Amino acid sequence: MKPEELKQLIKEKYGKIAEQNTEEKSCCCSSSCCGSEVDYTVFSEDYKNKEGYNPDADMNLGCGIPTDYAGIKKGDHVLDLGSGAGNDCFVARAIVGETGKVTGLDMTEQMIRKAKENCAKLGFTNVEFIPGDIENMPFEKDLFNVVISNCVLNLVPDKSKAFAEIFRVLKPGGHFCVSDVVIKGRLSEKMLKDAEMYAGCVSGASEMNEYLKIIEDSGFVNIKVHKQKEIKLPESLLSEYNDPNELKLYRVGDTGIFSITVSTFKPK
Ligand SMILES: C[S@@+](CC[C@H](N)C(=O)[O-])C[C@H]1O[C@@H](n2cnc3c(N)ncnc32)[C@H](O)[C@@H]1O
């Protein structure tokens, strides 16, 4: 599939998720309510005790809590990439306070709309949601103190471009912290090629060492992996995408799907 086709597919999937009402969101997408069998929520963490948490913005679409390791300070200008309904933006807002600013960027129109509605209900004037693509951000260089992102970069076809863009928009000495899905070892071709799995955050994920190498090659320093959590896939799903031999290798080796939270700095 071409990158633009993949992006279109992602917009359609997340557009549908954004349009569900609050009651529906807990059932989706493990059931067929999105017209899909993919479970987008297997990676998500519990945000309920986080300051700034807003249940309307929490669609269980994250795979970590990047604000925990992002070193955000009062007064910072924070950019959240793939901000969805605004979950991490509102947590970041609680840290930056009145004097800071939070910008959410997302390419799915319906997500931007939902995030703006959530923001209007909260009455924040220093949180904004901007439509746009992470591979070509609509921001000038050296603008943000901190960039965060939660379970998004695995969906971006050109990760080198994404990290180069993060580097460009961060101030010198600024830093980023992302939670993302990565793969250790190799997953079967069948699994990787499946577009549904891709939108479920697996098939577009990079091998972990390659992912960290892209970050390093983009010019970042002090790369730290704070958290790694293996995602246990159900037996039925594994057998659907792997033949018995592949399944055996999957079980004995280091191979697996992990959510990781990584932080790093742009040199001064
Ligand atoms: C798995 S959801 C995560 C949403 C949010 N970070 C959260 O934790 O609730 C992925 C989000 O990233 C957005 N996205 C994916 N690829 C993108 C891209 N290239 N540029 C901007 N947004 C993108 C999708 O529209 C979707 O809202």
Residue written as tokens 């997500």?
A: 111
> If you compute the radius of gyration of the chain from its CA atoms, what whole number of angstroms results?
18
Question: Per-residue pLDDT tens for 130-177?
Answer: 999 999 999 999 999 999 999 999 999 999 999 999 999 999 999 999
Report how far residue 56's alpha carbon sits from residue 131's, in angstroms, rounded to the nearest whole number: 20
Report how far residue 183's alpha carbon sits from residue 219's, in angstroms, rounded to the nearest whole number: 23
% of the chain residues with pLDDT over 90:
68
Report how far residue 250's alpha carbon sits from residue 185's, in angstroms, rounded to the nearest whole number: 9
Question: Per-residue pLDDT tens for 204-218?
Answer: 889 999 999 999 999
**Segments forming the whole domain that contains residue 241:** 3-265
Report how far residue 31's alpha carbon sits from residue 214's, in angstroms, rounded to the nearest whole number: 35
pLDDT above 60 for 23: no
Q: What residue's CA is closest to ligand 1, atom 3?
A: 61
CA atoms within 13 A on the CB side of 77: 10
**Residue from 7, 14, 40, 137 whose mutation best tests the ligand 1 pocket (most atoms within 8 A of CB):** 14
Report how far residue 182's alpha carbon sits from residue 66's, in angstroms, rounded to the nearest whole number: 15
Higher pLDDT, 135 or 251: 135
Give the pLDDT band (50/70/90) at residue 33: very low
Give the pLDDT band (50/70/90) at residue 46: confident
How far, in Å, from the CA of 153 to the mean position of ligand 1?
Answer: 8
When divided into structural domains, the chain yields a total of 1
Which CATH number covers residue 88?
3.40.50.150
How far, in Å, from the CA of 243 to the mean position of ligand 1?
Answer: 31
- Tell me the pLDDT of the chain averaged across its residues: 87
How far, in Å, from the CA of 18 to the mean position of ligand 1?
Answer: 11
Give the pLDDT band (50/70/90) at residue 40: low
pLDDT above 70 for 194: no
pLDDT above 90 for 125: yes
How far, in Å, from the CA of 84 to the mean position of ligand 1?
Answer: 6
Report how far residue 235's alpha carbon sits from residue 222's, in angstroms, rounded to the nearest whole number: 38
Question: Per-residue pLDDT tens for 57-77?
Answer: 999 999 999 999 999 999 999
List the strands of the sheet with 101-106, edge to edge.
127-131, 101-106, 77-81, 144-150, 170-184, 256-265, 221-231
H helical segments located in 20-108: 22-25, 87-96
Helix (H, G, I), strand (E, B) or coil at 35: coil
Residue 193's pLDDT is 60
By CB atoms closer than 10 A (0-12, 13-18, 19+), residue 40 is: buried
Residue 144's pLDDT is 98
Residue 199's pLDDT is 47
How far, in Å, from the CA of 82 to the mean position of ligand 1?
Answer: 3
Across the range 6-24, mean pLDDT stands at 84
For the chain, what's the residue count?
Answer: 268
Angle at 124 between CA 121 and CA 128, to 5 degrees: 100
pLDDT above 50 for 31: no
**Residue from 106, 154, 156 whose mutation best tests the ligand 1 pocket (most atoms within 8 A of CB):** 106
Report how far residue 36's alpha carbon sits from residue 97's, in angstroms, rounded to the nearest whole number: 39
Across the range 223-252, mean pLDDT stands at 80
pLDDT above 90 for 42: no
**Residue from 47, 87, 155, 201 whose mutation best tests the ligand 1 pocket (most atoms within 8 A of CB):** 155
Residue 26's pLDDT is 38
